[in-house]
Chain A
């Protein structure tokens, strides 16, 4: 029996989800449909500021986030995001505005100059956490149509899902994605590097560092026998999937392993077609792996 769920959230895709990482957006919308979750995209959203605007102007970065929060406040629902950087920056803006009266007044004043306001009532959520905490095990398990038991998954949630705010999970060893992957029926690899940093933008700005950090993660996943790595952040995804040959040379190990979003894994378990999950967008052989390891149950 399928457990009925009917929930609605405002949805903030984030800039990279419109192009480079559109598969994450496509697969998220598809699995939300299956789960009976309504995601209403924020109208005319803007960049949250990410980690790259903060080192230039802190308050401007907070205004960028606050404009999105203001739009979400009008809709009166929790704001769902799927990018770890958006997640942390939107939450940081919320928290700092709540704790710092002066910042709060300045940011609100700035919003008003552009005809908006934000009272601070929006809760920012990661879609992964919504699935696990709001919908739960039965809702997920009851929709699984295919057998994933032959697939061993290294769960890589990245750094900013549980840091610096560790209210949804352990800051160092988050288990939230592992729980979900277990519900989907896949085998969870014993993988302790799930919240280590992939290197983020250093893959471009300081490649020696970025390649080493990404290499350690991929090498670790392979050593623990993972068939694939599941991600929850667009920047982690591109770092892990696009430079495997090079980072393999850096860490002296074979780093070729399929990398996919946790939403693509969910959709695959739910029996969705590859197109509904944009599996063809992948730079690693995700589609071939799932065709081989996932069968009708």
Chain B
């Protein structure tokens, strides 16, 4: 990605972050690293939360988005409650994830595949149906990876814990009208 494009991407993301409740707090980041130290999955991230903010400020967001980074966020809000500057960093991570999906930069990311499969399942049924979600997820990623899950699925099945057929909510058409209406106000 060209430097100018990366800069534009960073600016686009910052604009979205500023629009969040307390989003402007990101300007007050002192690079102390409390977020990275608090994050249970930062060890598995190519860039830790502190580095993500640094990259954002330097207009080098493209590096962060292309790495196996944002989808490691487990949404536990540890960074958010500990940040001395009050930055809602978990929400920033959600913004990064959305930007990645929208720009098509999340190819090959399991986390993005899971979230996409989840949204599709909910759009279709009005609820999440776990068997449908996992079918969709493994078809998007690697169907062979579903094999090690079979013993667990069998156990759950014999305990009556697997919902094989999804049931749609009664008010699905109304819900779809609502979702279409909010979409008209922007894709975010």
Contacts and interface: CB of A to CB of B under 8 A. Distances in A.
Partners in one complex: yes
Interface residues of B, number: 61
B186 A59 contact: yes
Interface string B94-108: 100110010000000
Contacts of B130: 15-16, 19-20
Contact of A50 (B71, B118, B169): B118
Given A100-B21, A164-B77, A52 B162 contact: no
B29 interface: no
A180 interface: no
Given A53-B119, A58-B98, A163 B77 contact: yes
A15 B127 contact: yes
A164 B179 contact: no
Nearest to A109: B181
Contacts of B115: 52-53, 55-56
B111 A205 contact: yes
A233 B112 CA distance: 23
B174 A116 contact: yes
A292 interface: no
Contact of B127 (A46, A109, A242): A46
B71 to A, nearest CB: 7
B85 interface: no
B109 to A, nearest CB: 8
Contacts of A115: 174
A102 to B, nearest CB: 9
B6 to A, nearest CB: 21
Contact of B178 (A22, A67, A283): A67
Contacts of A100: 21
Interface in A69-117: 88, 95-96, 99-100, 106-107, 109-116
Contacts of B180: 113
B178 A196 contact: no
Interface stretch (A184-192, A206-214, A219-227): A206-214
Given A52-B119, A53-B118, A197 B74 contact: yes
A206 B72 contact: yes
A218 to B, nearest CB: 15
A60 B81 contact: no
A37 interface: no
Given A53-B122, A55-B115, A205-B114, A20 B161 contact: yes
B174 A206 contact: no
B182 A63 contact: yes
Contacts of B2: none
Nearest to B123: A60
A159 interface: yes
A183 to B, nearest CB: 27
B60 interface: no
B94 A18 contact: no
Contacts of B170: 44
A151 B75 CA distance: 32
A196 B137 CA distance: 26
Contact of A47 (B21, B127, B137): B127
Contacts of B77: 88, 159-160, 163-164, 171
Interface string A41-55: 000111101111111
Nearest to A18: B163
A52 B120 CA distance: 11
A209 B98 contact: no
A164 B175 CA distance: 28
Contacts of B112: 55
Interface of A: 15-16, 18-22, 44-47, 49-60, 62-64, 67, 88, 95-96, 99-100, 106-107, 109-116, 159-160, 163-164, 166, 171-172, 196-197, 199-202, 204-206, 208-209, 213, 242, 280-281, 283
